[in-house]
Amino acid sequence: MTNTSKPRIGVIGTGGIGGFYGLMLQNSGLDVRFLVRSGQEELRRDGMSLRSESLGDIQHQVQVCSQVEELDGCDWILVSTKTTGNAEVARLLNRLPNPAVKVVLLQNGYGNEEQMRALVPAQMSLFAGLCFIQVRRTAPGQIWHQGGGAINIGYHSGAASAEQGAALAAELAELFAAAKVPSEVTDAELARWQKLVWNVPYNGLSVVLDANTSSMMDNPSCLALITDLMQEVVDAAATCGYVLPEKLMPAMLKSTRQMDNYYPSMHGDYTGGKTLELQAIYRAPLQAARTAGGDMPKVAMLLQQLEFIQARSELAISHEKPC
């Protein structure tokens, strides 16, 4: 990196993703600030801890912020909240005194940067951050890392040119590498399609089937459906101008077999009564594929099932509320 001063990092969202990457960066010696909505008292008292067989156990006291203005002066802001809350995140980012900050969306799905671009100042630089990791928050400030951790970073838009943006993405990749997090710079759109190849089948099917990755992979019929869904995403990406590597699907299937009874994030959202990320993970890529002249019929069918499940869940919650 050309700048010898250590950058300051802000993190919005202290679930499994934000907690993991923020804590790894702090563990490497960086100044990291966490904007926390709930569990502030526990974090201030007990700090944040990471439990991981591959990385070891890590524990630090952390800087807990209750207002987004406390992130002013941060060079990078990592956003790891669900895409369903991006409008609220944009309102927070617009409150920063200095909007010329670099924002990385560590989120699943497609079209996230386009959505955010329309809601934040033009001088705010947006980056896509695609995380290939199995991690979850088990309690406030407690992160359980089951495996993975690599992150692909791509510049989307902002005050920087495409060349300057790529250089900035490389600087962030260096910070992650120094924190023992494998990272590489890639095209933002290409990276999002790559992650969708995994997210589309496993997230949705985990909810529809109430199943973890091991049980899905062990069933021949389910494995065939997973493969079909993956291929539809690969074909849709090609229709949209993004040719994915031939080895991507086999590599993802192989790595998923090595996961130990992992429940994807959407399953946790469903069991926790949260809104599912159907727009980012299903509707947006479906629309992109259809606009380009393609389609994903099995993905569309999976979306229809998830929409039914979401509507049923919302109806049940509404009936539980007192009149």
CA distances to 14, 40, 47, 140, 230 from 65, rounded to whole Å, are: 11, 8, 13, 14, 40
Of 274, 271, 277, which Cα lies nearest the Cα of 303? Answer: 277
Query: Which of 195, 247, 254, 298 is labelled catalytic?
Result: 195
DSSP-derived letter for residue 281 is I
Q: Which of 67, 63, 87 is nearest to 8 (CA)?
A: 63
Residue spans of alpha helices (H) in 219-247: 220-239
Q: How far is CA 186 from CA 18, 103, 210, in A?
A: 21, 16, 34
**Residues 58, 10: Cα–Cα separation, whole Å:** 19
Catalytic status, residue 195:
yes
Q: What's phi and psi for 148, nearest 5 deg? A: 70, -165
Q: Which residues are catalytic?
A: 195
